Amino acid sequence: MNTKKHKKILIKLLTPHGWELHRESNHFVFCHKVTNRKLVTQKSTNCRRVYKDVMSCVRKHDAKYLPKNDNTNTEKRVG
């Protein structure tokens, strides 16, 4: 997959959850606006599983570091 397309998809996934792109050299480093925690992903990928792993890290971060009433961004699984 093209690196620009990968970057665009990651930004689209992480921006609503309060993450912003901090830097990109060999990896993409995202920083959370409230907690200032960092999330590091690889710059190039050949697997769609990366997006599921990133969203899993985001949900775990929200559950651990954000208060329960501010934790409305996480996706709730139904079924």
Q: In the β-sheet with 38-42, what is the strand arrangement from edge to edge? A: 19-24, 27-32, 38-42
Convert the pLDDT of each residue in 38-73 to its tens digit: 999 988 777 878 899 999 999 999 999 888 764 455
Supply the mean pLDDT for the chain: 85
pLDDT band at 74 (very low <50, low <70, confident <90, very high): low
Query: 3-70 adopts what CATH topology?
Result: Metal Transport, Frataxin; Chain A (3.30.920)
Map out the domains of the chain as residue ranges. Answer: 3-70
**pLDDT number for residue 28:** 94
3-state per-residue secondary structure call for the chain: CCHHHHHHHHHHHHHHHCEEEEEECCEEEEEECCCCCEEEEECCCCCCHHHHHHHHHHHHHHHHHCCHHHCCCCCCCCC
**pLDDT number for residue 79:** 42
Convert the pLDDT of each residue in 1-17 to its tens digit: 688 888 999 999 999 99
